Amino acid sequence: MVAIPPTHPPTTASHAPTAGPATTKHSRQPTPTGGFTTIDTPPRRVAGVSQPYGRNSPQPRTRNRQPRHHSRPNHDRTQPPTTHPPTTASHGLVHEDFAPRTSGCHCARLAEGSPAQHGRLAALATSAPSQAPADSARPYTGVMHDPTLSTMEHRDLIEALALSHILPHDMVPAEECLGRRLAVDLSARIPLPPFTNSAMDGFALRRADLEGEGPWTLPVVADVAAGDTREHHLEPGQAMRIMTGAALPDGADTVVKVEHTDHAPGIAQAPATVQIRVAPKLGANVRIKGEALEAGSPVLKAGHLLDGTALAAAISVGHGTLPVLPRPRVIVVSTGTELKRAGEALERGQIPDSNGILLRGLVEDAGGRVVAHLRTGDTPAELRRALDAAPDADLVITAGGISAGAFEVVRLTLGTDAGFHHVAQQPGGPQGVGSTPVGREGRETPIICLPGNPVSVFTTFHMYVAGALAVMSGLVLPERGATVPSAVMARARVGWDSPEGKTQFIPLRFVDEAVADFPGQARSRWVEPVHAMGSKSHLVASLAHAQGIGVVAPEFAAVEEGQELAVVQLVG
């Protein structure tokens, strides 16, 4: 696994989220690969995590607040030193072996690079709301093209927001945990098996009573069924009929299979005597208490996906409820008077709302839970009413309404609650990050604002939002760089254009199995764009064929055939 560190000099940040361990040294010097720098790096630690119940509770609604300043960082300003490990570069990724569209929640791995951090580091996301004169709540109508940030600077804003809103674990009945992820390492509460029992239908006896030549005839003094809670004591020279799973009587040490006796299987009434025709070894057909697992033995690791087999293991060792990672409650907001519900007739200038269902699917695939999907028109009053009436949530994600148009409803509504800027990336330049009151109680809720074009929604969700959900849920440790997505290296089967000066995020598909480029070289995977028009933001119909998102560094104006690039894995 290799990580892509920054390509510009690092500085420190004055707003430091949760501190992490000291940065480790890499095993070799960086070498240029496909326009990036690759270095060996250890994998990110998956949560079990250090602060399982830590959470910054949402603050009550404060309507009249001063606008949060959103100026560009001053990299020349001296910042106080920090002790946390740095995050990654603007296009910082972590590379690992990758099968497209694998099951389970998004789980990024930490890139141990040296980032350039900026001085404000999401003051929008972390600063407490303050009282202000009543007129300060008017919609923000400032310059639409606010500072242009690097992708790394924008990630810092998202990451600071997520690190300040880590959710507590959920305690859920084990039988309702299917598909959830375990929050902590799980140990056995009871031994397995919990008592010494019979592994066969047959007769429990003392092996010492089968000495000499057989067959042997013994009196049957009891019938022991599975689930029988009575205590049975076997005297020398006796036998008891016993069923599979029944507790072994005191005094017995061996079980003879019913097939090795004169008693026919399936008869309801136990016989008065039994003839033993085959003498088994001492201890045959007996399962000893704790032979599989002793109480306190480890069973499952934190982060384990709780499928049927994992839940069976947990229940078998005495767990009735399990600590699982929370599924962040998410409100999806799609905006625009031009949007119509799926299947509705379209008039001139109207389009189907594909963003809403796209975001709902992405959120669920990334481990979140959509609690509401709001559709609003282009007036701030509509959006504000919708948010005020919405259920409580842990995160709001909006699509559209943040660019430079005259009716940018999200920007006009949330101007005092969030900061809006352009990111040097294509697609998805306009972005917003902050918090806003939601619900009848006006709970201060993190909000991430995405552009309205579907490809922008798709790519920027994977590059930023999926990692934020992983941090909020505790799937990854709450440390710097926690939102960096995982990726693999692949080669371009065909060439395509890329916007020089911007990082390109382009949906790709794998076109063949991994093959060696030249004899003796490691095998490479090959990719191509899912659409001939590349990363243009309206190509929503082609997204169903995407298997990853290619990341092209801003110094490239084009990708050449055979060029190596990073490919980010998709959620779900």
**Among 208, 452, 496, which Cα is nearest to 337's?**
452
Residue 534's pLDDT is 55
Count of Cβ atoms closer than 10 Å to residue 63 Cβ: 13
Residue 391's pLDDT is 96
Parallel, antiparallel, or unpaired: how do β-strands 216-224 and 239-242 relate? Answer: parallel
The single-letter code of the amino acid at 81 is P
Residue 515's pLDDT is 55
Q: What is the largest CA-CA distance in the chain?
A: 103
Burial class (CB in 10 A: 0-12, 13-18, 19+), 80: exposed
Dist. CA 151–CA 33, nearest whole Å: 20
Dist. CA 323–CA 185, nearest whole Å: 9
Q: For helices 151-163 and 466-473, what crossing angle results, to 10°?
A: 20
- Report helix, strand or coil for 542: helix
CA-to-CA separations, 175 to 170, 182, 320, 518, in angstroms, rounded: 14, 13, 8, 52
Dist. CA 454–CA 228, nearest whole Å: 62
Dist. CA 334–CA 332, nearest whole Å: 7
Stretches where the chain sits below pLDDT 70 are 1-146, 337-343, 346-347, 349-352, 406, 513-522, 533-541
- Cβ(50)–Cβ(185) under 8 Å? no
Dist. CA 380–CA 440, nearest whole Å: 17
The single-letter code of the amino acid at 504 is Q
Count of Cβ atoms closer than 10 Å to residue 27 Cβ: 9
- Cβ(448)–Cβ(531) under 8 Å? no
Residue 392 DSSP symbol: P
3-class secondary structure per residue, 13-58: CCCCCCCCCCCCCCCCCCEEECCEEEEECCCCCECCCCCCCCCCCC
| Residues contacting 309, CB < 8 A, separation 6+ | none
Residue 519's pLDDT is 57
| Residues contacting 19, CB < 8 A, separation 6+ | 82, 83, 84, 479
Residue 77's pLDDT is 32
Residue labelled with tokens 């995977």: 525
The secondary element (H helix, E strand) that includes residue 550 is strand 548-552
Parallel, antiparallel, or unpaired: how do β-strands 239-242 and 202-205 relate? Answer: antiparallel
User: 392-427: per-residue pLDDT in tens?
Assistant: 999 999 998 888 776 788 998 987 788 899 999 999
User: 217-235: per-residue pLDDT in tens?
Assistant: 999 999 999 999 999 999 9
Q: In what order do the strands lie in the sheet with 329-335?
A: 148-149, 418-423, 430-438, 443-450, 395-399, 329-335, 369-376
